[in-house]
Amino acid sequence: MAILIKKGKLVDPASGCEDILDILIEGEIIKKISENIKVKGAKVIDADGRIVIPGLVDMHTHLRQPGREDEETIQSGTLAAAKGGFTTVCCMPNTVPCIDNPVVVSYIFCEAMKNAKVEVFPIGAISVARKGKRLSEMGRLKKAGVVGFSDDGRWVVNSQLMRRAFEYAKMLNIPVISHCEDPFLSEDGVMNEGYYSTILGLSGIPGEAEKVAVFRDISLLELTNSRLHIAHLSCRDSLELVKKAKKENLRVTSEVTPHHLTLSDEAVKSFDTNTKVNPPLRSREDVQALKMGLKEGVIDVIATDHAPHSKEEKELEYPEAASGVIGLETALSLVVKEIVEPGLLTLKEAIARLTINPSRILGIDRGEIKEGGIANVAIVNLSKKWCVEEKDFLSLSKNSPFIGWTLPAKVEFTIFKGKVVYKD
């Protein structure tokens, strides 16, 4: 059945549109965008007082399937995505087995076709089993459908291997996504190295673990003129390196997570293991720098790094607990609260970092609302407050540091390829 979205404020960063318009969806496609559309027999969604935005695009999600279906599956992860307003998620390759060959890629596409609520694009591994020893079959991975290469969770320590990865990725016109962390500097660390790690008696990870890695990767980028996307930037110094590289017209882009924009290492005082993430929550100055980086366009993308973990992996002493938090269901609300409401970015600018920017980096035709385009749409009530409660998460894992928080911006509908996949 056709869907007619009435009187919503369309906020589409790709076209710059910010007007009250009706949107008619027929089949999987946006048929018409105009004022006052009249059509018989369509299901009408009254979006008066709501914003209508492109379905969000998360370029950094961990879906845990295959391998850890107790923590998340393609089905549950995409259900959580739909609830958060996402219609596209890119899944990182640190599954078991790893996404380092075409068989695993086709398994993911098959599972997604059967069970996913929204679209899934796999990211392929840079090295076989993410071990940093041999390159994966990057050409065959691209043919199978991966949209990026990453050994996420690990940095490619071997510079020669990384150089080759950049060269192949360039031929394939796919970005290399780097988890920038020198493992020797971060080895025993469990939180940011600084004042709070000292008073809490926890071993620290210095910002230099990231900075050193970012510097090496940008140097290799310069050597190869390939494309580099830096995952989850966390500190001011590495941000400065990205800024400089951008000024020199190197093809580097970067992302930040909602949790790194919201929390600082002070939050670890609670010893809540849901504040344990990798890279760690940094200092207040770093958080402020990340916000400025977002404003200045040094950071192009907000990505969740949605990382589900079971209670067994989280309910441990702080040093032993797994790193990572879930993020799909709270991302948009946190961005509105931390970035839009304080006036750091306009709503349109913030939505760009969650839609068209990641789409362009990955070279996928998503993240915008246009006539003839795929009908991926989220309808959001910005002023509706909601409380984050553990029982309400659709993700199989509940490891969120935001449980108990009251947030603005409730996703009321998510439409994927013309079908309502989430309704509040």
Q: Can you give the binding site for Zn ion, defined by CB under 5 A?
A: 152, 179, 231, 305
Catalytic member of 305, 365, 392, 424: 305
CB 400 within 8 A of CB 387: no
Three-class DSSP category at 242: helix
Which residue, 5 or 233, has its beta carbon nearer to Zn ion? 233
The four Cα atoms 98, 364, 296, 55 give a dihedral, to 10 degrees, of -90
DSSP for 164-188, written as a single string = HHHHHHHHHT--EEE----HHHHTT
Task: Output the smallest distance, CB 307 to Zn ion, in A.
Answer: 6
What is the chain's alpha carbon radius of gyration, rounded to the nearest angstrom? 21
> Residue 299 has what DSSP assignment?
S
Region label for 258, one of left (φ > 0), alpha (ψ between -120 and 50) or beta (otherwise) = alpha
Which residue, 136 or 381, has its beta carbon nearer to Zn ion? 136
CB 56 within 8 A of CB 353: no
Please provide residue 119's backbone torsions phi and psi, each rounded to the nearest 5 degrees: -80, 140
Task: Output the smallest distance, CB 387 to Zn ion, in A.
Answer: 27
Which residue, 300 or 305, has its beta carbon nearer to Zn ion? 305
Task: Output the smallest distance, CB 413 to Zn ion, in A.
Answer: 28
Task: Output the smallest distance, CB 231 to Zn ion, in A.
Answer: 5
Q: Encode 372-392: b = buried (16+ Cβ within 10 Å), e = exposed.
A: ebbbbbbbbbbebebebeeee
CB 37 within 8 A of CB 25: no
Nearest-CB residue for Zn ion: 179
Neighbours of 133 (CB within 10 A): 11
CB 163 within 8 A of CB 151: no
Spatial CA neighbour of 51 closest among 304, 409, 367: 409
CB 197 within 8 A of CB 173: no
Task: Output the smallest distance, CB 411 to Zn ion, in A.
Answer: 23
State yes or no: is 305 an active-site residue. Answer: yes
Residue type at 158 in one-letter notation: N
Q: Which residues are catalytic?
A: 305
